[in-house]
Each structure stands twice: as structure tokens, then as C-alpha cells.
Structure 1
Amino acid sequence: MYLKNALRAATALSLVTATGALADGHAKSLTIAIVNNGHMINMQKVAEAYTEETGVQLEWVSLEEGVLREQVTSDTATGGGQYDIINIGMQEAPIWGAAGWIEPLEFGAEYDVDDILPAMRAGLSHEGTMYAAPFYGESSMVMYRKDLTDAAGVTIADNDSWDNVKAAAAAIHDPDNGVYGACLRGKPGWGDNMAFITTVVNSFGGAWFDADYKPTIDSDEWRAAINFYVDLLGNYGPPGSEGNSFNEILALYNEGKCGMWIDATIAASFLEVDGVAYAQSPNAGNPVGANWLWAWAMAVPAGTENAEEAKAFIEWATSKEYVQAVADHPEFGWAKVPTGQRASTYANADFQAVAGFASAELAAIESAAPEATDLKPYVGVQFAAIPEFPEVGSAVAQEMAAALSGAKSVDDAIAASQDAADAIMREAGYY
């Protein structure tokens, strides 16, 4: 019933004909660009019910994270109209909304927008208007093998020091038996290796820019953070870490090869090994910004001719009813519902019974601090919510991957990063 009401209210579509065609000539198909993460892949199966009820065919374009960002940005900025619905996040949504690249979203009362976690609503809005709806949200946390730490006689506490975390990684590191002490992102990209690295920099007291938006990469804080990151992952991580992002590390973890993983809280939904424990993100004296905040959200590009139908699908796909549909699906259940999105999910006893990570995930989301502070003039934890950041972050990401692989020294990578960021910010007219 909700599905029909949402579709009717959002699009004023007529009823579906017996052949599955929409009687008043509205779109019969939507092209949806999604990131190739687990919840998005699962959505393709759950959404078969949407097609059955509405007749709207769904064409999925599933892309690796970096490729998705590149293609979606190019198509949306030019009004290309290749996609009717796109996956974007908190870096893009407010900026693209203000620029008119994506459509504002309004939902019916049954959608219960107030049920969406406040951090997610705020991060996907501009001047009080939502421009993207969260399909799932996340912070970051430590996910570690307690059986290994117990056997090694070490512990990992909430908001532990990086030194203690490094000591734990060393204690459980056993490459001869295929177990690596720490698995961390190394693949270059502003949302890949730099998502994690930025939280490390934050925790050392660093930031991307000063109050005048001059890059501060060539600083003692950045140098200490990058040396620590390269040392930790270089000594206690799997070989070839400069090629690993979320999906690669998830596979390694589920193969029993990772003793510890510090990454998106959403990963906990897909861990298949026993004995996983969780802790809030470590820091080097500054806990503010040590854990990130993100949502993979759904938005409607201004270039699509199918905006109303696209909004109707988003209203369904990000609703409480969708969460229930995943819970009821024979392949998934409550352990696989999208999280970090709605308060009602965390309040559900069935979800609590199977999601041992729920309280840690929610605590991480609620403690994330995206607002500007004395240390940084910009909004965002692992990114800066300015249009130039993807270019800056991508340039620095390549340098950090080179430092991790040994192709460059840390000092050389930092110097090159500073120069690249400075050139981009000068050309943009910040100073």
C-alpha cells in the first residue's frame, strides 16, 4: 500500500496497465548508477517487487567507487541525462544542490523524514532542503578479531591511542599463517585511501586547509600522520595494500586474513568470520575527526526527463518499508538491512538481536563532527565540502599511494601534495 501511495503522490502516475506499461506515457524504465557495495547490490533483488507493482523497469549501472564518482560527476555537471538516479554522498549533495545540478527532494508524510538520523539529513541538505536521500549511512570504527587479540594478550579500547593500536597490530601480525595485523585502505582516491588517511591526519591535529583555505599538507601534523600510516600498513598490512579499497579488504577479512580493519561501520553487516569485536576509532590526542561521516545517497540529476518517477523510486528505496522488505527477503533478513539511515532501524528488537555492531555503529555516527572547528574552516570530516576538494583529494591520494608503495619517500609525497593542492586552490581564486 505504501508503495502505491508514494508513487501516486510523488508522480501522479496513472495505474499500471495489464501489460506493465504506464498508461499515461510516463517513463517505463529508470537508469540508476550505483556504487558496487553490498547493500546496493542487494537492492537490485529487493527492487524486483517495485517493478512488479509499478511496471517501471530498473536498469542498473554498478560501478567501482572511483569510477562511479568520475562518471556521475561528468554526466551531472554537463546535464548529460545518462542517469535518472545517481549515488552520491555528503561531499556532493549540498554543493550540487546549490548549483542546481540535482533536484530538491520532498516526501509524503508516510515517509517520516524525521526518522532519518539528524547527521544524515543535515549532510545531504543545503539551506534546509534535502537534495539526496540516504540509502545507508556510516561512520568509521575498528573491527578486530578478538580471538586473535585475546590469544596475543592485547586489548583494543574505544578511542584508543594509535600507539596501542599499532602494538596490537604487531602482536597479532602472523604473515606466515596468512594473518595480517592491520588491513587499511591504500587505493588512491579522495573517497578511498584519503577517507581513512584524513581521519588519521585529523587525529594528529592536522587539517586540509587553514582559515584562508591555503593547504596545510606540508605540516608537522600531516608528516607525523603519514609516517605513522605508512609504517603501520607497510609493516603489518597485506602486500599490495596500495591497491586495496573497501571491497578488497572485505574479501581479505572474510578469508580470515585480517586481524584488524578500521573502515566504514557498514562493513560490519557483511563480515562473515566469528569473534569480531568493535571499538571507536583511535586517535593521537585529538578525537575530533578521528571517525568519518558519510552516506551513500540517492539523488535525481537535473538533466533527466524522468524526474518525478525517479523521485518516486527514491522515496520507496529509502523508506522504512524498504528496510522491512530487506528484512523479509528470503536471502537477506534483519542482519542485512541498510543501516546508518533511520532511527527506527536501531530501535527494532529484531535488528538488535542479530546486529552485534549496532550500538558501536550508532555511537560512531553520533560522535562524528563534520562542522567547522578552530582547526578547520570547512564542513566535512574526511573531506572538505568545497567544489575543489575532489580534485585536491585525488591529486594527494596518488602521492600517498606512492609513499605507501615505496615509490616515493613520505617527505617527497607531502611536498608534491602541497604543491598540487596549492596550484588548484590558487587557480580557483581562494588566495
Structure 2
Amino acid sequence: MKNLCAALLCATSLLAYDSASAETLTIATVNNGDMIRMQGLTSEFTSANPDIQVEWVTLEENVLRERVTTDVATKGGQYDIMTIGTYEVPIWAKQGWLLPLDNLGADYDVDDLLPAIRSGLTGEDGKLYAAPFYGESSFIMYRKDLMEKAGLTMPDAPTWEFVADAARKMTDRANGINGICLRGKAGWGENTAFLTTMSNSFGARWFDENWQPQFDQPEWKNTLDFYLKLMNDAGPQGASSNGFNENLALFQQGKCGMWIDATVAASFVTNPKDSTVADKVDFALAPDTGLGKRANWLWAWNLAIPAGSQKSASAEKFISWATGKAYAELVASKEGWANVPPGTRTSLYENAEYQKAAPFAKMTIDSINAADPKNPTVKPVPYVGVQFVAIPEFQGLGTTVGQLFSAALAGQMSADDALAQAQQASVREMTRAGYIK
């Protein structure tokens, strides 16, 4: 008995030692469903890597962007891994703020990453500076039952005119049903992202070839007028506070006839555990106006290591686990193939089990492949980026413009005033930054 107690005491001491000596990774991430799921599976990683512990900092999208930007720019060292987007990766890599991911492991298969996603995460030196956790474009999610009740059939590739007509006919506010739910929450990655892709389809652009802002042009007025009227006629109350997560909840609760947003939402609106309308949902390509550009974006949420990290080896080990093929298989075993993080690997879209489980798979990959960051607009532009402009100044400017458009949606100013102020702010910022001579 004495020897047994001694052995137990020794084992307890060893466990305490292992826990105390383990390296702790602090990971900043966004409060989206796939990231929440990853946190729930973290014990799978730590049990296989007992020398590494994980602490999560989970933040709303706008707050996440603000905090990680401040931390990486000031070398604050708060986070060992950051969840950042396709916009930040090439800019931050060029500024020396990120470490290249050179040691993801022999079985990681970098060449399996979708070319459209991988290219946005690769630096000028050809190295990968972030690994995609999930990739997305955007498309229409709609209620088949409400579309049928309205006497309409959704085309695979609809126009904005059709979408607006359908939204008004599907609206039944007496029963809490809005014909359409669209982003209104201010933020360069929230309403500005949506309205920029919408404007692309209306023939608008942020800047002409000489970096002159274009908010005083008719294409932007047509975009904003159309959006505001549509949301007034068929959108939910308080829409100026609604971003991705808020609209997802509304759609899952059966309160939206249509929702145009990230393709990653498809698994959440078709999952009967979360969605009251799971068996009534279908999908279509983002709308156009016949000018040759659809209102779909290209994005990935990625895991990256800030430069100067003292825990880069452990951080890269976690990133390899969370973005590798084995993680997809882990999610499939726990939640089913339909809930695997989408939009990052060719092999997923060649997987017969995934194709069978995910009716949205083909529409998702078609939307991702259709987005063209190097030619995002009808008229020529000097920038890269579909729903953003890939310059450092865009983060602040995009948020300012988003605040103006959100105020217009809330009825605090007219569309003309919002556009005039967006033009003034853009001219001021682009002149200050030296783009306009």
C-alpha cells in the first residue's frame, strides 16, 4: 500500500510537472461557428501534444481586427497565433509582421490548397505566410417554400432585379418574415465588404486608374439607392446592427426569405440541429446586373504567426493540425462531412462523401473560382481585391465608409450625403497617403 501511494504521488507530481512545463499558445480568433467548433476539438490536439496547452481569445469580427492589428503592428506579443483574413496576409508579410510557415510537416500537402486561396496567402518571396482554416465566396441562400409561395423560381444565376422582386413578394412582416437579410453593421469586413461586391456588379469601383475615389459617380449612387430601398422594403428592422452572425441567426430562425452572404454559412443553415428551416434551403449564385460581374467575394480566415513569436515551433504545429487534411476527417467523424471547414483544399471537393453530404459544395467551389481579385470590377482599377482594396489604408478608410453607409441605412443621413462624405474622406486619405499627387 505504501509503495502504491508512493507511485500515485509520483505520477501526480509528474502530471503537475508536465502541465507546469507545457508551453501555452494564446490564439486570437473570430466568434464564427467553425472557429467555435475548433475550440471544442482542441483537446484532440493537446492530448496528442501534452507539451502544448492552448488558451483562446474569442472576439467579435470588428474587435478581433482592431486588436490583432494593434498587437502585430506594435509587436505587443499578446498572441502566438492570430486569425487574420486574406486582406491582411500579403500586406503584413511585406511589412515583416508575420513568420513564414516553413515547417508544416511532410504530410501537410501545401499543393492541395485551392490555387485561388493559396495565392492570396503567399508573399512576394513565394512563401506561405498563413494557412487557411476555411475559404469562402458569397452566394444566395433562400427558402424554397417561400419562393414557391411567391410564385417564383430562383434561377441558378439571378439578376439583382429578380432578387429584389422576389424579396418584396416573400416579405410577410405580420408573420415576422423579411424577404431578404443583408449586412448593415459598419465595418470594412462587414457591410463594406458586402456593398463593395454589390457595387462591382453595378459597374462601380473604389478608385479609377489614377487612384481618384469614385463615390461621386452614378454607379455608386445606383448601388446604394438600390440597397437602401430593398432593405427598407424587405429587410429586417434594425438592420444597421446586423452583420454575418446576426443575419445567420435570423435565417436559422426562419425570419429571412433570402440571405446573400458567405458560402461558409451553408452548413449552418442546412444543419437541423441549428436551423429551423434546414430542409427548405437552396442556393444560387450571387446576383448581377448583366455587366459581367457578380456580387461574390473571395475570402479566407487564416491562422498566422506574428513575427518575433517565441513559440513559433509549437504555433506552427497547431496550425498544421487545425488546417490539415486530418482535421477535416476529425470534424467529419464528429459532426458529419457537411460540417467540415470548406473552401481550402482541392481534395475536399473531389471527396464523394463530401459531395453527397454537402448539396452546396458545387455552388461554393464555382463561386470561389469565379471571383477574380486581379480584375474585380467592370472598369479597370489599379488595385487587387474583390470586396476590399489591398492597400494598408483601406482598413481605416473602409471602416469610415461602412459607418456612413450604416448611418444611411439607419435613416440618420441620406444616400447622397453618405456618398458625398465617403468621397471627401477618400480624397483626403488618398491625398495624405500620397496616392493622389
Q: TM-score, normalised by structure 1?
A: 0.93
**Contact (CA 8 Å) 2:286, 2:294: kept in 1 or not?**
no
The structural deviation recorded for 1:22 is 6.4
Equivalent in the alignment of 2:390: 385
Is 1:66–2:62 an aligned residue pair?
yes
Equivalent in the alignment of 2:110: 113
Report how many residues are paired. 412
Equivalent in the alignment of 2:143: 145
Whole-Å Cα distance in 1 between the matches of residues 136 and 129 of structure 2? Answer: 18
RMSD between superposed Cα atoms in Å: 1.6
- Unpaired runs of 5+ residues, structure 1, are 1-16
Equivalent in the alignment of 2:359: 356
- CA offsets per residue over residues 307-358 of structure 1, 9 Å max, x none? 12111110111000011111112xx221211001111112222212221111
Give the SS at the match of 2:180: coil
Whole-Å Cα distance in 2 between the matches of residues 222 and 414 of structure 1? Answer: 8
The structural deviation recorded for 1:20 is 7.6
Whole-Å Cα distance in 1 between the matches of residues 291 and 407 of structure 2? Answer: 27
Equivalent in the alignment of 1:48: 43
The structural deviation recorded for 1:21 is 6.0
Counterparts of 1:280-291 in structure 2, within 5 Å, are 280-288=285-293, 290-291=295-296
Aligned with residue 75 of structure 2, among 58, 76, 79: 79
- Residue range with higher mean Cα deviation, 137-146 or 119-128: 119-128
Aligned with residue 371 of structure 1, among 359, 369, 374: 374
The structural deviation recorded for 1:304 is 2.0
Whole-Å Cα distance in 1 between the matches of residues 197 and 261 of structure 2? Answer: 10
Counterparts of 1:192-231 in structure 2, within 5 Å, are 192-231=190-229
Whole-Å Cα distance in 1 between the matches of residues 338 and 396 of structure 2? Answer: 37
Give the SS at the match of 2:256: coil
Whole-Å Cα distance in 2 between the matches of residues 282 and 290 of structure 1? Answer: 6
Aligned with residue 35 of structure 1, among 30, 36, 39: 30
Whole-Å Cα distance in 2 between the matches of residues 176 and 300 of structure 1? Answer: 50
Whole-Å Cα distance in 2 between the matches of residues 22 and 75 of structure 1? Answer: 30
Give the SS at the match of 1:130: coil
Is 1:124–2:127 an aligned residue pair?
no
The structural deviation recorded for 1:159 is 2.8
Q: Which amino acid aligns with 2:25?
A: L
Is 1:421–2:416 an aligned residue pair?
no
**Contact (CA 8 Å) 1:124, 1:132: kept in 2 or not?**
yes
The structural deviation recorded for 1:255 is 0.7
The structural deviation recorded for 1:288 is 2.5
Change (3 A) 1:22 1:116: farther
Q: Give the percent of matched residue pairs that are identical in Structure 1 and Structure 2.
A: 52
**Contact (CA 8 Å) 2:170, 2:179: kept in 1 or not?**
yes
Equivalent in the alignment of 1:134: 132
The structural deviation recorded for 1:234 is 1.4
**Contact (CA 8 Å) 1:199, 1:292: kept in 2 or not?**
yes
Whole-Å Cα distance in 1 between the matches of residues 83 and 344 of structure 2? Answer: 15
Equivalent in the alignment of 1:189: 187
The structural deviation recorded for 1:160 is 1.4
The structural deviation recorded for 1:108 is 2.7
Whole-Å Cα distance in 2 between the matches of residues 152 and 18 of structure 1? Answer: 67
Q: TM-score, normalised by structure 2?
A: 0.92
Whole-Å Cα distance in 1 between the matches of residues 208 and 82 of structure 2? Answer: 32
Q: Which amino acid aligns with 2:70?
A: S
Q: Which amino acid aligns with 1:342?
A: R
Equivalent in the alignment of 1:319: 324
The structural deviation recorded for 1:289 is 5.2
Over alpha carbons, which structure has the higher Rg? 2
Change (3 A) 1:115 1:24: farther
- Residue range with higher mean Cα deviation, 303-312 or 65-74: 303-312
